[in-house]
């Protein structure tokens, strides 16, 4: 395997890890105004992701850095053409982080409710826009022969991309609800399970609609080679069994299956792209690929050595943090941190 393919796979893995880990963070933030019926419950919900949310965002930062270093043309075209949605996403993520830090600074319910809604928006906006962005990746955007992007923000909000955004929004909400069933105690965990079941139904419906549209709006049939594709079938089965496991209260397995559904859905997108990085809707020959967008061989070699040294360290450290904070959080005063 050459280094261009290796770094495409590594970037795909980084984004997939981000969607799995940050996905339940987004879900908790989205559910905060609805499950958090009082201050104690809202504090419990925030505490479930408190030790992890900023560490989970490291996956996104690392993926962006890897894109910049390994495929600079992809990075340049993406951050110019998708400037507005990426800016909105950045502002939302900053607002969410500020909300988690600022809501406890004053003993005032109105102050805290404002920041709770900021956390909601800071979770819902990125959850929606990630689906919109990835759908446009595979559908195609107007990129010319020189790699320049010619479009505007509203053209990215086409019907296919918006359905993709709904899939990610609902999927992350479901992921967060299942996470809360594992990290909280009754009655909050029971209500989270009920909401997970409610969220599962529209998630499946919208995912089916998105799948049908994908076969008409993209070249997935020719790219994956198998109709409809082994990995997409695996993602669909994982999502379907997630609902059944939620129903019979097998929360741990439901979380595993939901994470697997996100992994396989992400894998489907990147397999559909490869060896392309960004599909050109003007001319398929103008698409950005791992060949015409990569850095030099020497740069990729240096990056590979650095990754081999530091990626295992990061994985071990993050795994350790999840182990340390593995216990459920109850509504007892001693378990809450303001």
pLDDT at 77 over 80: yes
Question: Cα–Cα–Cα angle for 93, 258, 322, nearest 5°?
Answer: 60
Composition of the chain by helix, strand, coil, percent to 5: 75, 5, 20
In the chain, what percentage of residues exceed pLDDT 90? 57
- Provide the residue ranges of all domains of the chain, joining segments of one domain with +: 3-330
Q: What is the pLDDT of residue 180?
A: 94
Query: Quick check: helix, strand or coil at residue 289?
Result: strand
Backbone φ, ψ for residue 337 (5° rounding): -130, 125
Q: What is the pLDDT of residue 175?
A: 96
Q: At what angle do helices 3-35 and 58-70 cross, to 10 degrees?
A: 150
pLDDT grade, residue 22 (50/70/90)? Answer: very high
Q: What is the pLDDT of residue 63?
A: 92
Going by the DSSP 8-state scheme, the letter that residue 335 receives in this structure is G
Q: What is the pLDDT of residue 338?
A: 45
Q: What is the pLDDT of residue 335?
A: 57
Q: What is the mean predicted confidence (pLDDT) over 158-173? A: 95
pLDDT at 150 over 90: no
Q: What is the pLDDT of residue 243?
A: 93
Q: What is the mean predicted confidence (pLDDT) over 19-31? A: 94
Residue 153 burial (CB count, 10 A): 13
Q: What is the mean predicted confidence (pLDDT) over 65-90? A: 91
Question: Cα–Cα–Cα angle for 308, 312, 313, nearest 5°?
Answer: 115
Backbone φ, ψ for residue 143 (5° rounding): -115, 130
User: pLDDT by residue (tens digit) across 196-239?
Assistant: 999 999 999 999 999 889 888 887 766 665 566 788 889 999 99
How is 111-155 classified by DSSP, letter by letter? HHHHHHHHHHHHHHHHHHHHHHHHHHHHH-B-B-TTS-B---HHH
pLDDT grade, residue 36 (50/70/90)? Answer: confident
- Nearest one of 311, 218, 285, 320 to 11, comparing CA atoms: 311
Q: What is the pLDDT of residue 134?
A: 93
User: pLDDT by residue (tens digit) across 170-188?
Assistant: 999 999 999 999 999 888 8
**The two three-digit tokens of residue 232, written as one number:** 């997409």
Going by the DSSP 8-state scheme, the letter that residue 279 receives in this structure is -
Residue 314 burial (CB count, 10 A): 14
Q: What is the mean pLDDT of the chain?
A: 89
Q: What is the pLDDT of residue 299?
A: 93
- Nearest one of 36, 324, 55, 336 to 188, comparing CA atoms: 36
């Amino acid at each position: 395997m050459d280094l261009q393919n290796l770094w495409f796979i590594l970037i795909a893995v980084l984004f997939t890890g981000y969607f799995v880990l940050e996905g339940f963070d987004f879900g908790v933030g989205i559910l905060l105004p609805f499950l958090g019926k009082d201050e104690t419950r809202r504090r419990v919900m925030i505490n479930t992701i408190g030790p992890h949310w900023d560490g989970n965002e490291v996956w996104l930062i690392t993926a962006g850095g890897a894109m910049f270093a390994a495929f600079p043309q992809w990075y340049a075209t993406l951050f110019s053409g998708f400037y507005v949605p990426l800016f909105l996403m950045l502002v939302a993520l900053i607002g969410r982080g500020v909300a988690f830090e600022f809501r406890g600074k004053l003993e005032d319910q109105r102050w805290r409710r404002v920041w709770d809604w900021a956390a909601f928006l800071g979770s819902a906006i990125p959850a929606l826009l990630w689906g919109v962005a990835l759908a446009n990746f595979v559908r195609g955007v107007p990129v010319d022969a020189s790699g320049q992007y010619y479009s505007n923000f509203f053209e990215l909000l086409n019907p296919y991309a918006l359905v993709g955004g709904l899939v990610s929004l609902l999927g992350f909400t479901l992921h967060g609800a299942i996470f809360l069933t594992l990290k909280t105690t009754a009655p909050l965990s029971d209500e989270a399970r009920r909401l997970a079941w409610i969220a599962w139904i529209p998630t499946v419906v919208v995912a089916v609609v998105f799948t049908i549209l994908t076969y008409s709006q993209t070249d997935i049939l020719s790219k994956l080679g198998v109709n409809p594709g082994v990995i997409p079938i695996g993602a669909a089965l994982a999502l379907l069994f997630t609902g059944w496991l939620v129903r019979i209260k097998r929360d741990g397995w439901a979380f595993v299956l939901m994470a697997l559904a996100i992994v396989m859905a992400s894998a489907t997108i990147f397999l559909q792209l490869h060896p392309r990085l960004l599909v050109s809707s003007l001319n398929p020959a103008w698409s950005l690929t791992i060949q015409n967008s990569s850095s030099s061989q020497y740069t990729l070699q240096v990056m590979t050595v650095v990754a081999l040294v530091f990626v295992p360290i990061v994985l071990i450290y993050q795994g350790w943090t999840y182990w340390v904070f593995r216990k459920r959080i109850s509504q007892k005063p001693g378990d809450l941190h303001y």
